[in-house]
Amino acid sequence: MNALSKTENVDPSTGEITTTGLPAGYQAGNQSLAVSIAMAEVDQQITTAHAYPRSVDLAVKNILTLATLDEETAKECVYALPRGGKPIKGPSIRLAEIIQSQWGNNRVGTRVVHVDRIEKYIEAEGVFHDLETNSATTSRVRRRIVDSKGKLYNDDMIIVTGNAAASIAKRNAILAGVPKAVWRKAYGEVERVIVGDVTTMAEKREDAMKAFAAFGVTPERIFAALEIGGLADINLEHYTTLIGMHQALRSGEATVEEMFPVAKPKADQPADLKGKLDKLAEGKDQPSTAGDQPAKQQETQESDAGSSPSGSDAPGKQASTPKATATEQKPSSSPVPPADDGDPIAVATRLGRAAYRNDLSERAVPADYKQKSREAEKAAWIAGFRDEADKDAPEPGSVEED
């Protein structure tokens, strides 16, 4: 701590003595006035923090009270990002602000430190300084400043992206600086308030779909991100994740393109899960047989067969015999109907096998099969899926090890 030194100045004409209080070492040119003032401010804040220490118990109670003040506040206190089929959830910048304000005796700052238009990223820094313990935490965050096509953002979008990066850096610095034991209970209560009563899940699902529709996100993209079959599959855990994802979009911590990437479907495959299941049910995914040939090619072969000499003067009659023979020998080009005779277990097994061949996940069990009365069909669907997956697995000893 820098002690203020008193300097006496004597006026030669009047003999008046004046005293000035500047930091020690300033007149010797050791540091500038701005640095000296800043150091004096920090020292005074540390002195005040030691004179009026925080109450940990009171801080924990206040954080819990404010975070669960109402359902809307609770929703703003979480964020979620889907990564690899599993959501990453955590406290948002709004909860971090509540934690910082109620923890007390601290200083927080954030700023954009670098904009790289060559590498196309922006970097922001957040700092949290606990005045009681005199410990500081710094966090840096980078965000891309290009769109989905790789084009550099304009100046306005770069500013918006910089603000979002600064908020994330500030949140990370606060959560790293304040012990998790202080805000863990509040975060758990926030999730409980968001989930609410299970009897209201139907309304919650509809509200979630409407909230994402404002960002141009279709239900199909939501189902794909959560890896579920449809709206009925959204449970309490999924709903909490959706609230966090929506808050991340609102606060700018994530973009629609990052959260809901659009996968380009194959040329011969439908785009959504419902279309794939419909196509499977119609039997259109059966592989074509080796004898399938276009009608024009068959006519050409039949014509060639009829015009070939065979020791007779009636080519038309000769043509009819090979035609009939070719027809009998060629397999039919129409899809072969599945031999399940309407047995629901056999149908479920066949759909499970076909789902694996269409690159679906094992979690994509049709919603109808998840009912309690159809558990046997669900088990058959999964068994068919796994049986088909086992066919692609290499046999033991068939793969050489290095």
Name the nearest CA neighbour of 129 among 184, 169, 93, 178: 178
The DSSP 8-state label assigned to residue 230 in this structure reads S
Structure tokens given for 370: 């998840």
Name the nearest CA neighbour of 39 among 27, 52, 25: 25
Q: Is the dihedral of CA 66, 72, 74, 78 positive or negative?
A: negative
Question: Buried (b) or exposed (e) across 361-386, using 16+ Cβ within 10 A?
Answer: eeebbbeebbeeebeebbbbbbebbe
CB 75 within 8 A of CB 208: no
Determine the Cα–Cα distance for residues 283 and 340; give it in Å rounded to an integer. Answer: 12
User: What three-state secondary structure class fits 218?
Assistant: coil
Structure tokens given for 104: 């007390």
pLDDT tens string, the chain, 402 residues long: the values are: 445 555 566 666 666 666 555 555 544 455 678 888 888 888 898 999 999 999 999 999 999 999 988 888 998 998 887 776 677 888 999 999 999 999 999 999 999 999 999 999 999 999 999 999 999 999 999 999 998 888 999 999 999 999 999 999 999 999 999 999 999 999 999 888 887 655 567 777 888 888 888 888 888 888 888 888 888 888 777 888 888 888 888 877 788 887 887 655 544 555 555 566 666 666 544 444 444 444 444 444 444 444 444 444 444 444 444 444 444 444 444 444 455 556 788 888 888 888 888 878 887 888 788 887 888 888 888 888 888 887 776 655 544 444
Gyration radius from the chain CA atoms: 35
User: Global pTM?
Assistant: 0.51
Run of H or E including 248 = helix 236-251
Helices 236-251 and 219-226 meet at what angle, rounded to 10? 110
The DSSP 8-state label assigned to residue 260 in this structure reads S
To which residue do tokens 């080796």 refer? 290
Strands (E), 30-91: 78-83, 86-91
